[in-house]
Structure formats: C-alpha cells, structure tokens
Structure 1
Amino acid sequence: MDRHIKIIATLGPGTETYEAVRDLVASGAKIFRLNFSHGGREFFAKMVEIIRRLEQETGYTLTVLQDLSGPKIRTCDVGLGAFEVNKGTEVLLGTPDEYKKDSGPFICLDIPEMLQGVKEGDPVALGDGVIRFKVVKIEGEHLIRLVATNSGICPPRKGITFPGTTTTLAPLTDKDKADLAIGMDLGVDVVAMSFVQKPEDICNLRAEMIQYKRRVPIIAKIERTAALDCLDGILQEADGIMVARGDLGLELDLAELPTAQKRIIRACNKLGKPVIVATQMLLSMVNSPMATRAETTDVANAILDGADCVMLSEETAVGQYPGEAVKFMRKIAYEIEAYMFETGLSNVAADGVKEHPSTFLAHAAAMLAGKVDARAIVCHSTSGATARILSSCRPAQSIYALSTDSMVRHFTNLSLGVIPAEPLDVIDDHQERAEVFVRQSPAFKEGDIVVVTAGQPEKGKAVTQTNVVKLYEKLKKEEN
C-alpha cells in the first residue's frame, strides 16, 4: 500500500543548504513552506532554486508554498524594557503618547485602530498567549487598564492579540504585497494568506495577483474566530485551508480547539479542498531526537480527522533534527493509515454526489478501485478538480493525477494520496494518455489492475468534465 499523507516542511536557517533539503525530500517531505515573516529575497531565491533542482533530479513534484506574514501586531518599546507581572497585577495598554514615567507597568501599542472597539471583560494575549490579561477599564480613547490573569515576563516588541474581536486591519499588508511580488517573480506554486477574516480577503489577494498574470492557488489560514464565523464563504473563495492552531488557539478557549479543527477539516473534505494542520505538531523535536507521546497522538489524530497535509514549522526551520522529524511524522502516518484502511475509517460517505455527474463518477471510481483491489487510480484531470474529489473519497489506492499544466500538478500535490504526473501531450485522447502512462510507468507491473478516469472532450471542445471510468490491466509489452 502506498502512503498517503503529505508532509510540509518549513525551510529556515536549519535547512538552507542543498544537502539539508535533499535529506528532507528523501525523508518524505514533498511540499516546502517559505515563511515570509522571516528572511529576505536572497534566501527565498536560493531555496526555490534548490527545490527546482531537486525536482529535476528526483522526478518528484515538489511544491513551493509562500506563506505571507499578514498583520502581525507587535508592541513597541517606551524604554521600560522587560517587566514582570503576577496574577492580579494591573497594567496599562496604550499608544506611545499615553505613556508617562509614573504610569507604572505599561504596554505600548502604536496602532490606535487596534484599541477601538475593545470593551471591559475582553481578553488580551501577549507573546503568543504566554501572558494573558483581561480588560478592567477603558481609561481613554487610546488607553486601557488590564489585569493579568497569570504570571510571567512582559518584554517589548512581542506579538499581541485581542481574541474574539474583528480587527479593522486588512490581512493583506503593504509588506505582503511586496512579498507577493517576490513570490510571483520566483515562481511559487501556492500562496497562504494569514489572518483571513472574510471571503473578500481572498478576493483581494487574487486581485493583487492579476498584475503578475498568474492565478496561483490560495490557502486561507484560519486563525481568527471571525474566519470560523464565515467559514463556508471563505471555503467557496479559497482553494484550500490551513488550520493555524497557534493564533487560533489564542482566539478560542483551548478546550474548543480540537472540535474547531475537526469541523474545519470536515468542511474541507466535503468540498474536496485540501486542508493543512499546522503548529507545534512535533515541537519537542526542535531540540530532541524524540517526540513526546502527546505529539505522536496529535499527528495521528490530525490524519484520522481527515487532514491532507501535516506541517512542520520550527522543527525543520531551526530545529536540530529536521530530517528525523520528517521521518518520524512519516512513520506515524504509516501506522495510522494502515489502521484506517484496515478498519474502514478512511471511507468518506458520498453525500451530495448527485450534484454533478463528474463528481458521481469520481466517487464511483474510488468505490470500484476498492472492490477490485486495484493497484491505483489514474486520473487525467486538466484542472485537478477530479483528482481532488477522488482524494476526498479517501481510497486506499494512490491517485496518479495527470495534467499538462505545471500549476495544476503542483497544487494537486497538496491533496492526500495524490501523486502528480505529466502525461505525453502529443496524444490528444485523454483516456489514451492515461493508459500510455500506465504502460510506460515503472510504478506499475505486468498484471496490475488500474482504474482510469478521464474527461474526453468532444470534437470542437478544448476541455470537458470527467466522463470515462475504465478498468485497465497492464499487459506484456508485446500485447499492448
């Protein structure tokens, strides 16, 4: 049985060499995240060059994911340095002009818009939630009194969030626009948008891409409660979703996070859109060659929930054991996927498959593959849509997605179980292209049964929906 889960590795100082990235590919990573919150054009250009070189050398489709920073809100420095707070300590939060030397503990924020709409009782989190406060009094338009609900150190220039509130700051910042220009020039395959709050945010990013004459797939990062409130609308506009559990975990009560993750994944599975689970999956492996039991279970449960991809961040960007982290994540996937297929947990009910004949045919192909114990499903998918629907059916078989479009191949690489491949475009007949691929590919041996799906255009038409499902057996060369 081929293995299905896709592993995303974030590149950084710990994996900036050709040898390091090659080791990640050999360990099982096929998608590489470039975090534009850190690093500059020179670093990203070097990483893209290495990835494209390895694509040529290995024959794998390796996808480059650009992750835009979004409006990361940080406190400023009024000269107080780091100060300690205990549970119950009162602290003022305000703009720089509100600070006075006798103010006592003061957190400075030079973005006055963020203070608008904050009301008594609202939570405030500092430093990725390490220190949490509650608003006890609105002292002025740009001055708020907080009380600490736990103890810790409050240094300047740390991230600050206002969980549950809708910010007026646009998710697409000037920095993001400049970074997008770099990404488009370097030829990234997918773009992830941070702090999405509504469907229009995705539309705005897509409009920004128009000037580069590229329509790169967009992954919406779900990390605000506002995004959860209009998830259906965001799913209609976005090409895929990332469950960004770091910031989402600050917005929600932590006990609510697992159910939010499950609901997001289920919604993506239903629409056949790839979904990534991210943040602290194997965090202990930044400094240790071994993961914890809780982390191992977390990765397994993300796969059980229906994730297409699981993502490593610090583990591969700055960690001491990047290759080992990918290998261990892959090993967890081996075990949990074997269990899922053995128990039938991978099967997805075909709700709503009568919406379109091509969708029904994709579900039928997946069921047929299971009934005849096919070696694989080979899908000629011009747009990649059928490959994604097949993936959402969660068959035990790998899905070889044939497309002559490089962007389509690199995006279908994010869907669970999909192996992108390039067909011979000298053959017009899409079904024949798929059969020739089976005959020529070393992945299939004599006697293998393959389910072939294709959309064969009628004369005078360039494309069509999937309209063919066929059982195909690879015969001896002289019989073909």
Structure 2
Amino acid sequence: MDRHIKIIATLGPGTDSYEAVKELVESGAKIFRLNFSHGGREFFEKMVVIIRRLEKETGLTLTILQDLSGPKIRTCDVGLGAIEVSKGTEVLLGVPDKAEGVEEPFICLDIPELFEGVKVGDPVALSDGMIRFRVKKIEDEFLIRLEAINSGMCPPRKGITFPGTKTPLAPLTEKDKADLAIGMEIGVDVVAMSFVQKPEDICNLRAEMIQYGRRIPIIAKLERIAALESLDAIIAEADGIMVARGDLGLELDLAELPVAQKRIIKACNAAGKPVIVATQMLLSMVNSPMATRAETTDVANAILDGADCVMLSEETAIGRYPGDTVRFMRKIAYEIERFMFESGLAGPATDKEKEHPSTFLAHAAAMLAGKTDAKAIVCHSTSGATSRILSSRRPKQSVYALSSDPIVRHFTNLSWGVIPAEPLDVIDDHQERAEVFVRQSPDFVEGDIVIVTAGQPEKGKTVTQTNVVKLYEKLAKEVN
C-alpha cells in the first residue's frame, strides 16, 4: 500500500550534504523545508542544487518549501544581565529609556508598538513560554509591571509574546522581502508565511511576489489567536495552511491546542486545501534513535485528524538520526493509514456535495475507485484543483496528478495521497494524455483498473473543468 501522508524534512547542518538529503528521499521525505530564520544564501543555494539533482536522478517530484522568518520579537540587552524570578516576583517591562535609574528587576523591549493595547491581567510569555507573567499594572505608556506565574531565569535577547493580543507588527518584514528575493531567484516551489493574522497578509506577500515574475503557492502559518478568529477567510485566501504548534502553543492554553489543531485541519479538509502539522512531532529523536510513546501517538493522531503533511524540524535539521526519524515517521503512517482504511475512518471531511459539476465528478471518481477496487486514480489537472478535490475525499488509491506546469506539480506534492507526474505534451487530448500515461507507466500492469478523470477542452478552448470520468483497464498489448 502506498503511504498517503506526506513527510516534510527541514534541512540544516545535520543534513547539508548530497548523501544526507538522498537518505531522506530514500527514507520517504518528498518535501524539504528551508528555514530562513537560520542559514544564509550559500547554504540555501547548495540545498536547491542537491534537491534538483536528486529530482532528476530519482524521477520523483521533490518540493522545496521556503519558510520566511516573520517578525522576531525578542527582548533587548541593556547590560543588566539575566534576571532570576520566583513565583510572585514583580518585574518591569519597558523600552530602553525606562531602564535608567530603575532598581527593580527590568526586562527591556525596544518595540514601542507592542505596548499598545496591553491591559491589566493580560498574559506575557518569555523564553518560548518557559517563563510566564501576568500584567499587574500599567505604569505608563511604555512601562508595565509584571508578576511572575512561575520560576526561572530571564536572560536578555529571548523571545517574548503577548498571547491573545493582535500584534501590530506586519508579518512581512524587510528581512522577509530580502529572503523572498533569494527564494525566487534560487527557485523555491512554495513559500510559508509566518505569523499570519488576516487574509490581507497573504495578499501582501502575493503582491510582493509579482515583481519577480513568479506566482507560487503560499502556505499560511497559523501561530496567533487572531488567525484562528479569521480562519475561514485565511484558508480561502491561502493555498495551504500550517498548524505551527510552537508559537500557537504559546498563544493558547496548552490544553486548548489539540482542539485547535483538529478544527484547523477539519476546515482545511472541507475546503480542499493541504494542511501541515508541525513542531516537536518526534523531538526526542534529535538525540535518541527511539521516539517516545507520546510522540508516536501524536504523529498518528495528526494523520487521523486529516493532516496532509507532517513536518520534522530539529529532528532532521540538527538531529543525530535524520534518516531514522523519517523512516520511523513513515512506519507510523503505514500502520495508521492501514487502520484508517480497514476501519472505515478514512473518508471525506464532509458529505455535502458541491454544486459545481467538475467537483461532483471528482467526488464520483473517488467513489468509483472505491467500488471497483481500482489500482489508482489518474487525473489530468492543469491547475491542480481536481487532484486536491480527489485528495480531500481520502480515497484508498493513490491519485496520480498529471500537469505540464512544474509549479502545479510541486504544489500537488503537498496533498494527501497525490503523486505528481508530467504528461506527454505532444498529445493535445487530456484524456488521451492520461491513458497514455497509464500505458507507459511501470506502476501499472496488465489487468489493472484505473479511474481516469480529465477536462476535455472544447474546440477553440485550451482550458476547461473536469468533465470526463472513465474506468480504464490496462490491456496486455499495452504493456511495454
């Protein structure tokens, strides 16, 4: 059985060679994340060259995901050193000027905009949420008094968040714009935008792309409560979604995070948009060849929830066992997907049929594949939309998505159960393209039943919606 879940591997110092990336591909990773919060142009260029080389050597579609940093909100250093706090300790948080003459513990934050709208009782999280505070008093415009909820050390230059408040900083920073220019130049396939709060953020990134003559898909990373409040609008505007559980887990009460994950995934499945679950999925495997039981269950539950992709970060970027980690994640996927199909848990996010004929035909193709126990579904999908609809129905069969557009092929690689492929352009008839692909592909043998979907353009037209569903059998004389 083909594994339908897609594995994203983050590249870093632990996987910066041809041999290391090749092992990740052979282990089951087909999507590679370049984290622009770390590393420079030279490293990213090197990784793109390696990935494209492996793409040619293996014949697989390998997708490169550029992950933009977004606004990094960190405390500053005014020479006061680290502060040790205990539960109940009061500290001051203010802009650098407020540190003069202060005898109380002081945390510096040189971003005045972040003080706007802060209220008494609001939570504040420092050092990736390790230290939690509550706002006790607003001393003046750029100085607030905090009370520690737990104990720990507060060194300077650590990340700080104001959970639940809308951040006034634009998610597309000057650094992101410069990094986007690098990504466009070296040829990334997909861009992930950090700290998206509203659909307009996606529009701003798309407008920035236009000047480079490329329009590639955008993944919105959901890390703010404000994003959850605009979830449907963001899903409608973005091409895909990432459940970025690291920062989202700082915004929410941790007990609320699993439900938020399920709601986001359910909404993406219903909209036919690919959704990625990320952060600490197999974190213990950074230093250990074995995952924990909780991590194993976490990966399995993300797949059960309906994720299209599961992502590895430190595990493959700096971990000691990157190949082992991908292989173990793939093994989890094999077991949980087999259970889903055996138990009937795999299926569409909603039974509500769309009114558009092409969408209905895609649904019918998935149903026909199940009823006939077909080997696969092959769709000619110029824009990739049909393959995403088919994916959202969660068929047992793999969906071969034929498109002449490399941008489309690399993006359909993010959808559950979809295998991108390039058709023969010398054939104009889209249905015939799909049938020729079946005849020539070594993945199919004599007697295999394949469900073919295609859009047959009318005379004088080059583009059309899916309007053909056909049950096709590969015959003996067609075997190459």
TM-score range (shorter-chain normalised) is: over 0.9
Residue 163 of structure 1 deviates from its aligned partner by 0.3
> For the residues of structure 2 that align with 1:231 and 1:251, how far apart are their CA atoms?
15
Matched, 1:76 2:88: no
Amino acid at match of 2:86: N
> For the residues of structure 2 that align with 1:67 and 1:354, how far apart are their CA atoms?
33
> For the residues of structure 2 that align with 1:477 and 1:428, how far apart are their CA atoms?
23
Residue of structure 2 equivalent to 1:447: 447
Residue 83 of structure 1 deviates from its aligned partner by 2.1
The 8 Å contact of residues 349 and 392 in structure 2, kept in 1 or not, is answered as no
Residue of structure 2 equivalent to 1:425: 425
Residue of structure 2 equivalent to 1:120: 120
Q: 1:210 to 1:478 in 2, by over 3 A?
A: closer
Residue 103 of structure 1 deviates from its aligned partner by 2.7
Q: 1:8 to 1:349 in 2, by over 3 A?
A: closer
Residue 81 of structure 1 deviates from its aligned partner by 1.8
Q: 1:318 to 1:478 in 2, by over 3 A?
A: closer
Residue 167 of structure 1 deviates from its aligned partner by 1.1
> For the residues of structure 1 that align with 2:148 and 2:21, how far apart are their CA atoms?
43
SS across alignment from 1:354: coil
SS across alignment from 1:212: coil
The 8 Å contact of residues 127 and 158 in structure 2, kept in 1 or not, is answered as yes
Amino acid at match of 2:100: K
> For the residues of structure 1 that align with 2:339 and 2:479, how far apart are their CA atoms?
38
Amino acid at match of 2:150: N
Residue of structure 2 equivalent to 1:11: 11
> For the residues of structure 1 that align with 2:416 and 2:169, how far apart are their CA atoms?
34
Residue 349 of structure 1 deviates from its aligned partner by 5.4
Residue 102 of structure 1 deviates from its aligned partner by 3.9
> For the residues of structure 2 that align with 1:274 and 1:350, how far apart are their CA atoms?
15
SS across alignment from 1:370: helix
Residue 452 of structure 1 deviates from its aligned partner by 0.4
Amino acid at match of 1:33: R
Residue of structure 1 equivalent to 2:193: 193
> For the residues of structure 2 that align with 1:349 and 1:171, how far apart are their CA atoms?
30
Residue 301 of structure 1 deviates from its aligned partner by 0.2
> For the residues of structure 2 that align with 1:132 and 1:402, how far apart are their CA atoms?
50
1:176-196: CA deviation from partner (whole Å, max 9, x where unpaired): 000000000011000000000
Residue 101 of structure 1 deviates from its aligned partner by 4.8
Matched, 1:147 2:147: yes
Residue of structure 2 equivalent to 1:378: 378
The 8 Å contact of residues 282 and 315 in structure 1, kept in 2 or not, is answered as yes
Amino acid at match of 1:63: T
Residue of structure 2 equivalent to 1:266: 266
Stretches of structure 1 lacking an aligned partner (at least 5 in a row)? none
Residue 368 of structure 1 deviates from its aligned partner by 0.4
> For the residues of structure 1 that align with 2:230 and 2:78, how far apart are their CA atoms?
38
SS across alignment from 1:355: coil
Q: Where do 1:296-311 residues align within 5 Å? A: 296-311=296-311
Residue 473 of structure 1 deviates from its aligned partner by 0.5
Residue 478 of structure 1 deviates from its aligned partner by 5.8
SS across alignment from 2:281: coil
* Runs of 4 or more above 3 Å deviation: 349-352
The 8 Å contact of residues 129 and 250 in structure 1, kept in 2 or not, is answered as yes
Q: 1:258 to 1:350 in 2, by over 3 A?
A: closer
> For the residues of structure 2 that align with 1:80 and 1:286, how far apart are their CA atoms?
34
Q: CA RMSD in A?
A: 1.0
Amino acid at match of 1:410: H
Residue of structure 2 equivalent to 1:245: 245
Residue of structure 1 equivalent to 2:292: 292
Residue of structure 1 equivalent to 2:214: 214
Return the TM-score normalized by structure 1.
0.99
Residue 463 of structure 1 deviates from its aligned partner by 0.5
SS across alignment from 2:354: helix
Amino acid at match of 2:321: Y
Q: Where do 1:25-36 residues align within 5 Å? A: 25-36=25-36
Q: 1:472 to 1:112 in 2, by over 3 A?
A: same
The 8 Å contact of residues 350 and 363 in structure 1, kept in 2 or not, is answered as no
- Identity, in percent, stands at 83
Q: Where do 1:57-206 residues align within 5 Å? A: 57-206=57-206
The 8 Å contact of residues 399 and 418 in structure 1, kept in 2 or not, is answered as yes
Residue of structure 2 equivalent to 1:332: 332
Residue 236 of structure 1 deviates from its aligned partner by 1.0
1:152-202: CA deviation from partner (whole Å, max 9, x where unpaired): 111111110000000110000000000000000011000000000000000
The 8 Å contact of residues 84 and 153 in structure 1, kept in 2 or not, is answered as yes
Amino acid at match of 1:421: A
The 8 Å contact of residues 269 and 349 in structure 2, kept in 1 or not, is answered as no
SS across alignment from 2:44: helix
Residue 479 of structure 1 deviates from its aligned partner by 8.6
Residue 105 of structure 1 deviates from its aligned partner by 1.4
Count of residue pairs brought into register by the alignment: 480
The 8 Å contact of residues 34 and 66 in structure 1, kept in 2 or not, is answered as yes
SS across alignment from 1:471: strand
Residue of structure 2 equivalent to 1:437: 437
